[in-house]
Amino acid sequence: MKIALVTGGSRGIGKAVSLKLASDGLHVIINYRSNDVEATKTLEIIKENGGSGELLKFDVANRGEVRTVIDGWKAANPEKFIEVLVNNAGIRKDNLLMSMDDSEWDSVINTNLNSFYSVTSSVIKEMMYNKSGRIVNIASLSGIKGLPGQTNYSASKAGMIGATKALAQEVGRRGMTVNVVAPGFIHTEMIEGINESDFRKLIPLGRFGKPEEVANVVSFLVSDSASYITGEVISVNGGLYT
C-alpha cells in the first residue's frame, strides 16, 4: 500500500484530497496544525469507508517541528516511506501592499511557500533512494495571474510554481514527478468573505468549483496513468483564466 502525506489534510481541499486518495487505496497521513476535531472526523470517514490512514500533527510553518515530527514518523516506520506528497496547507491574509504589515507577509510566505521546502526536503531522499515518488503542490490562480490585495499570497503560490518546475527537472531521472494543481474559486473556508455573485459571472462555467473536483486531478497526477507528466501546472478554475 502506497503511503501519501497530505499537508492541511483535514479540511477543505486537503480533506477532499485525503478522502479521494484513501478511496484509491493509499494509506493517507493526514497532517493538520491545531483542529483535532476536524482531523479526527476526516480520519473516521476514511476508516468508515474501508480506507487506511493516520493523523500527523505539526505546523508546516515551523521548520524544526516539521523535521522533528516527520523524522519521528520515519523512525517508527523504518520499512516504509512516503511515496506521495501533496503540499496543500495554506493560508490567506489579504491586504494592499501599502497597508500590509510584516506579520501578514511573513506568515503567508512561511505557511504557503517555506513549508514546501521544509516538508518536501524531509521526505524526498527516501523517494529518490526508492526511485519512486509523486509530489503535487496545490498553488492557486493567484500564483499564475496575480490578484490585487494578494501580493503575499500570489508571491507564495508563484514561488511554489517556480520551485515545482525546477524540482521536476532535478528528480525526473529517478522516476519521480512533480506537478502543480492551481485551483480558482473553490467552495472552502479559504473563500469566506468573497461575494460569490460578483465573481461567478466572470467564470465561463458560471459557478465556483467543488473541492472534489480538485481532488480528482490530484488523484490522477499521483497515479501510474500520469507517469509521463511532470513540471506541469494544471488549472482547475472553470475557465476563469487560461
Per the domain annotation, does 226 fall within a domain? yes
Per the domain annotation, does 241 fall within a domain? no
Contacts of residue 241, Cβ cutoff 8 Å, sequence gap at least 6: 141, 144, 145, 184, 235
Q: What is the pLDDT of residue 189?
A: 80
Q: How far apart are CA 84 and CA 186, in angstroms?
A: 23
Coil/strand/helix, residue 227: coil
Q: What is the pLDDT of residue 191?
A: 73
Catalytic annotation on 228?
no
* 28 CB-side CA count, 13 A: 34
Per the domain annotation, does 140 fall within a domain? yes
Contact (Cβ atoms closer than 8 angstroms) between residue 42 and residue 48: no
Q: What is the pLDDT of residue 169?
A: 98
Query: Which of 6, 8, 40, 10 is closest to 26 using CA atoms?
Result: 6
Per the domain annotation, does 57 fall within a domain? yes
Contact (Cβ atoms closer than 8 angstroms) between residue 138 and residue 116: no
Locate 218 and state its grid cell. 490530484
CA-based diameter of the chain, in Å? 52
Per the domain annotation, does 100 fall within a domain? yes
Tell me the CATH number at 206. 3.40.50.720
Provide the domain limits for residue 171.
Answer: 3-236
Q: Which residues of the chain have pLDDT under 70?
A: 242
Contact (Cβ atoms closer than 8 angstroms) between residue 56 and residue 29: yes
Per the domain annotation, does 242 fall within a domain? no
pLDDT tens per residue across span 134-173: 999 999 999 999 999 999 999 999 999 999 999 999 999 9
Locate 69 and state its grid cell. 515530527
Per the domain annotation, does 11 fall within a domain? yes
Q: What is the pLDDT of residue 242?
A: 66
Count of domains for the chain: 1
Q: Which of 32, 117, 129, 153 is catalytic?
A: 153
Per the domain annotation, does 162 fall within a domain? yes
Is residue 212 within a helix (H) or strand (E), and if so which, with residue range?
helix 211-221
Instruction: State the burial class of residue 94 (Cβ atoms within 10 Å of its Cβ: 0-12, 13-18, 19+).
Output: middle
